[in-house]
C-alpha cells in the first residue's frame, strides 16, 4: 500500500532524494500548489533534511534583491550584503542580452532576468520574501522605468543609480506612498562632506562671489553621465556666489590622462571617483581647493547596505516619512550613538567609546 505525506514546499528548498535516497538539489515549481509529495520510503530522511534546512539553509535575515548583478557596482553590493549577513535573493534584473545568465557573486548563484520578465519575477520574489527590499544600481536611462515598476509593485527600494528625470522619480514614489532611499551618492563619508558644503552654502550665501571655479571629475570610462556628487557640490558653490555651468566640468575618462594627470592608480582605472574643485579669487591671489578621491566601489556598496537596513527599520516602525536620502541614513547612525554614555558600541568597521559626551574612535 502506498503512502504519501504532504509537507510545505518551503521546507524543501534545495533538497530532494534520488532513487538511492541521496540528497540532490532541486528548485520549487511555480505551480499554484504549496505542497510537495514524497513517498513513505523517503519520509524519515525528509524529516531530518527539512529540519536542517529550516535552521541552516533558510536565511531569515533581511532579504535584498540587487538589480544589475552583471555590473561591477551590483556585484560589490552583493558582496557587501553577504558580509553584513543579509539574505541575497537569487534573482536580479538586467538588460535583455544578459537574460537567462547565472552570475556567481559572493558565493551566491543569481539568475538574471530581462526587461520583459520584470513584473512576473518581482511578483514571485515578493511572494517568497514579504520583507523584500530592492537595491538598484542599474543605468541612468532605466531610473524612471524601474521606479515605476517598484512603485506599482509597492516594493521598498534603495536607488543609487544616477541620471533620469529626478523630479519625475520623486513624484512617482511619492504618489505610490512607498518607502525608499534615493541618493546619487551612497558613500556616507562623501555624504558628510556634501552636508558640510550645504551648511556652508546656507549660512554664508555669496561668500565666494566673484571667484572662478574649475572642476575636474574623473571616473571609469564606462560611466556615461556627470557625477551626481559633482552636481551637488557645484550647486553649493553657486549658492556661495560662484557662477558656473555644468558644461564647464572637465569630464576625464581617458585612462592615460587619468594616470598621468589625475594620479589614479592603474589598478583602479575601472572603478574610481576622483573629484577636484578649485576656487580662485578675482585677482588670483587667493585660492581654495576641495578634493575627494575614491578608489574602488566598497564605500558605495557598504552605504547601500546601510541604507537597506535603515529603510527596513523605518518600515517596521511605520514611520510617517517615506522618502529618504543618505543624509537621513547618516543622521540615524549619529543619533543612535550620541545618547549613550559610557558604553561600548560595536560597528562592523569601528569601535566607538562614549564617555561624558566625548568620543574616541579606535
Better-scored residue on pLDDT, 161 or 7: 161
Compute CA 56 distance to the chain's CA centroid, rounded to the nearest angstrom.
Answer: 26
The catalytic residue among 87, 113, 219, 275 is 219
pLDDT of residue 335: 52
Q: Does one domain contain both 88 and 232?
A: no
What phi, psi does 252 have (nearest 5°)?
Answer: -110, 115
The yes-or-no answer on residue 219 being catalytic is: yes
Up-side HSE of residue 28: CA atoms within 13 Å toward CB?
18
Indicate whether 93 pLDDT > 60.
Answer: yes
Q: 255 with 272: CB under 8 angstroms?
A: no
- pLDDT tens-digit series, residues 314-329: 999 999 999 999 999 9
pTM score: 0.70
Q: What is the pLDDT of residues 189-203, one digit of tens each?
A: 999 999 999 999 999
- The answer on 214 and 126 residing in a single domain is no
> Where residue 123 sits, what CATH number does that domain have?
3.40.50.720
Write the DSSP assignment of 218-236 as a string of letters: EE-TT--S--HHHHHHHHH
All cell numbers assigned to 175: 504618489
The number of distinct structural domains making up the chain is 4
Q: What does DSSP assign to residue 358?
A: E
Q: 195: closest CA among 236, 135, 154? A: 236
Q: Are residues 182 and 306 in the same domain?
A: yes
Select which of 10, 17, 223, 322 is catalytic: 223
Q: Which domain holds residue 228?
A: 188-297
- The residue that leads in pLDDT, 224 or 54, is 224
**Known active-site residue 223:** yes
* Tens-place pLDDT, residues 36-63: 444 433 333 333 223 223 333 333 489 9
Would residue 286 be called left, alpha or beta, if left means φ above 0 and alpha means ψ between -120 and 50 degrees? beta
Q: What ranges in the chain are assigned the alpha helix state H?
A: 43-52, 72-83, 118-128, 143-153, 166-176, 188-203, 228-239, 255-257, 298-316, 326-337
In this structure, are 165 and 222 located in the same domain?
no
Give dist(CA 147, CA 172) in Å, integer: 7
Amino acid at each position: 500500500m502506498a503512502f504519501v505525506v504532504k509537507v510545505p514546499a518551503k521546507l524543501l528548498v534545495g533538497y530532494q532524494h534520488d532513487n538511492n535516497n541521496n540528497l540532490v538539489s532541486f528548485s520549487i515549481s511555480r505551480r499554484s500548489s504549496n505542497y510537495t509529495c514524497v513517498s513513505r520510503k523517503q519520509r524519515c530522511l525528509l524529516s531530518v533534511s527539512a529540519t536542517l534546512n529550516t535552521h541552516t539553509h533558510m536565511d531569515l535575515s533581511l532579504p535584498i534583491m540587487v538589480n544589475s548583478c552583471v555590473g561591477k557596482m551590483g556585484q560589490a553590493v552583493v558582496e557587501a550584503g553577504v558580509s553584513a549577513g543579509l539574505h541575497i535573493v537569487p534573482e536580479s534584473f538586467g538588460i535583455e542580452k544578459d537574460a537567462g545568465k547565472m552570475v556567481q557573486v559572493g558565493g551566491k548563484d543569481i539568475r538574471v532576468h530581462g526587461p520583459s520578465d520584470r513584473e512576473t519575477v518581482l511578483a514571485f520574489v515578493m511572494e517568497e520574501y514579504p520583507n523584500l527590499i530592492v537595491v538598484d544600481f542599474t543605468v541612468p536611462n532605466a531610473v524612471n522605468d524601474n521606479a515605476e515598476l517598484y512603485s506599482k509593485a509597492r516594493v521598498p527600494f534603495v536607488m543609487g543609480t544616477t541620471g533620469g528625470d529626478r523630479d519625475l522619480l520623486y513624484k512617482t514614489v511619492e504618489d505610490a506612498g512607498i518607502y525608499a532611499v534615493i541618493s546619487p551618492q551612497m558613500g556616507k563619508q562623501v555624504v558628510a562632506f556634501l552636508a558640510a558644503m550645504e551648511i556652508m552654502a546656507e549660512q554664508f550665501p555669496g561668500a565666494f562671489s566673484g571667484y572662478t571655479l574649475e572642476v575636474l571629475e574623473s571616473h571609469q570610462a564606462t560611466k556615461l553621465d556627470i557625477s551626481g556628487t559633482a552636481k551637488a557640490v557645484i550647486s553649493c558653490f553657486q549658492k556661495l556666489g560662484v557662477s558656473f555651468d555644468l558644461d564647464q566640468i572637465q569630464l576625464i575618462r581617458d585612462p592615460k590622462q587619468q594616470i598621468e594627470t589625475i594620479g589614479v592608480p592603474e589598478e583602479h582605472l575601472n572603478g574610481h571617483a576622483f573629484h577636484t574643485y578649485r576656487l580662485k579669487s578675482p585677482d588670483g591671489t587667493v585660492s581654495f581647493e576641495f578634493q575627494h578621491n575614491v578608489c574602488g566601489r566598497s564605500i558605495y556598496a557598504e552605504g547601500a547596505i546601510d541604507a537597506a537596513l535603515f529603510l527596513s527599520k523605518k518600515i517596521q516602525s511605520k514611520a510617517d516619512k517615506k522618502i529618504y536620502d543618505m543624509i537621513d541614513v547618516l543622521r540615524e547612525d549619529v543619533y543612535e550613538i550620541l545618547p549613550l554614555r559610557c558604553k561600548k558600541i560595536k560597528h562592523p568597521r569601528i569601535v566607538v567609546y562614549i564617555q561624558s559626551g566625548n568620543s574616541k574612535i579606535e
